[in-house]
Structure 1
Amino acid sequence: MSTKKVKIEAPKIPDGLKPLAVSEVEWPDEHAISDCVMQDCSITNQSAYKACFDRVVFNNVVFRGTSLRKAEFTDVRFENCDLSNIEMSEMILHRVAFHNCKLLGMDITGSTLRNVRFGQCYADYAVLRFSNFKGVSFEKCSLAKADMSNMTLANLYFTETNLDQAQLSQTKLRGIDLSDCQFDGLGVTLEDVRGCIISPAQAVVFAVKLGFVVNNGE
């Protein structure tokens, strides 16, 4: 069984963006940052509410003790960044790309993502619950033990992604293709997985999880 894949729009970032030094970074509430590149720096103990980022590239940036609740990111790219344990709940992402980023424990509870691509990212223990994803892909990522419960999904794609022990309860997976994912177990119910696409080997995992006794013919 296969589904037609919807194209995910890439960030629209112009050439020749100006560099922005970390010493110039101050993010008061509802502050806007646009048309710049931040690279090779550490952003520590920043807190901003409803900040806006447009046409920004973050390259090799480490975020520590940072909170960006209800931030908006449009046409933004994160490359080789560390956003572990960052608090970004209720944010809005549109045409955003994360490549080779560390997202361990990142909290994006209640966020809205449109046209977002995660490539080779480590997002174990990430908190994505109550978020709305449409046009989002995870490519060669790890989401082991991530909290993805109570999410609304459309056009979500996984490629060679680790979902082991991820919590997906109350998230409807109908039409979502999990057949290319790796996991020994998922936090799901029968109603959650109804209509999702899985491999024959994964069918055994789901059967055991849901309480069926699998007869292997021996």
Structure 2
Amino acid sequence: MSNPKLDAPKMPKELPIISVQEKEFEPEDSFHTGLISDCTIDNQSAYKVAFDKIIFRNVTFTRISMKEIELTDVIFDRCDLSNVDFTEATIHRTEFRNCKIIGMDLTGATLRNILFQDCLGDFATFRMANFKGITFHSCSIISSDFYEATLQKVQFEECQLDQAQFTGAKLEGIDLSTCDFTTLGVSIDDLRGCIISRGQASVFVSLFGLKLKE
């Protein structure tokens, strides 16, 4: 199966610098066309904040709750988004490059044309999220949670997936053959049509209590 082609973020050539360090975010705030870099965004709680055509570069997010955040044409480059609360987010044409997303909460989010590249995302939560046109490449998402997520045109390429939870997430057409894991939270019905390597077959044999006869 060929990789789905993602629509990349649409960025102008020149981006003015935006300073948000002293900013107290308010509900439904919006930020358009700019670069936010080399800073910490701390202790913010607001809903439906929107970012459009924004690059975050080397930004640390701490104690952040931005439920229903809207991200369109956004790039996170070398950012730390560990434990941010982005539940029920709407995210389009966005890239996470070399980011820490440990424990990020995207429960119930809608994601379209998203790239996660070289990210550390162990314990990230994607429960009941709706994915379409998503690539995880060279990411560690150990113990991540995709419970009842909708996965359409999703690629997992060379990822660490050990102990990831996929119960209720249909894996038909999803290719896990280049990923590394020793166990997954998944049912037989969820696995129907999933693509795995020969070497991974023994993992699922033991997972469902079967014995492989030599």
TM bucket (normalised to shorter chain) is over 0.9
Deviation at 1:79, TM superposition (A): 0.2
- The residue number in structure 2 matching 1:143 is 141
| CA distance in 1: counterparts of 2:71 and 2:25, whole angstroms | 14
RMSD of aligned alpha carbons? 0.8
- The residue number in structure 2 matching 1:41 is 39
Deviation at 1:100, TM superposition (A): 0.2
Question: Unpaired runs of 5+ in structure 2?
Answer: none
Is the Cα contact below 8 Å between 2:21 and 2:41 reproduced in 1? no
| CA distance in 1: counterparts of 2:91 and 2:107, whole angstroms | 13
Match of 1:115 among 91, 109, 113: 113
- The residue number in structure 1 matching 2:77 is 79
- The residue number in structure 1 matching 2:59 is 61
1:36 aligns to what SS in structure 2? Answer: strand
| CA distance in 2: counterparts of 1:156 and 1:178, whole angstroms | 10
Structure 2 vs 1, CA of residues 43 and 23 (structure 1 numbering), >3 Å: closer, same or farther?
Answer: closer
CA deviations 1:130-154 (Å, max 9, x no partner) are 0000000000001100111110010
CA deviations 1:9-61 (Å, max 9, x no partner) are 11001111110123453320011111111000000001110111100000000
2:193 aligns to what SS in structure 1? Answer: coil
Task: Give, as a single letter, the amino acid of the residue that structure 1 aligns with 2:159.
Answer: T
- The residue number in structure 2 matching 1:152 is 150
| CA distance in 2: counterparts of 1:204 and 1:118, whole angstroms | 28
Question: Is 2:201 the partner of 1:203?
Answer: yes
| CA distance in 1: counterparts of 2:177 and 2:3, whole angstroms | 15
Normalised to the residue count of structure 2, the TM-score between the two structures is 0.98
Question: Is 2:26 the partner of 1:28?
Answer: yes
1:128-207 to 2 correspondences below 5 Å: 128-207=126-205
| CA distance in 2: counterparts of 1:23 and 1:63, whole angstroms | 11
| CA distance in 2: counterparts of 1:6 and 1:76, whole angstroms | 19
Q: Which runs of 4+ in 1 moved over 3 A?
A: none
Is the Cα contact below 8 Å between 2:165 and 2:184 reproduced in 1? yes
- The residue number in structure 2 matching 1:100 is 98
Paired-residue identity, %: 46
2:45 aligns to what SS in structure 1? Answer: coil
| CA distance in 1: counterparts of 2:193 and 2:2, whole angstroms | 15
Structure 2 vs 1, CA of residues 133 and 25 (structure 1 numbering), >3 Å: closer, same or farther?
Answer: same
Question: Unpaired runs of 5+ in structure 1?
Answer: none
| CA distance in 1: counterparts of 2:21 and 2:101, whole angstroms | 24
CA deviations 1:61-96 (Å, max 9, x no partner) are 000001110011000000000000000000011000
1:6-21 to 2 correspondences below 5 Å: 6-21=4-19
| CA distance in 1: counterparts of 2:89 and 2:20, whole angstroms | 22
Task: Give, as a single letter, the amino acid of the residue that structure 1 aligns with 2:29.
Answer: H
- Say how many residue pairs are matched: 214
Deviation at 1:101, TM superposition (A): 0.1
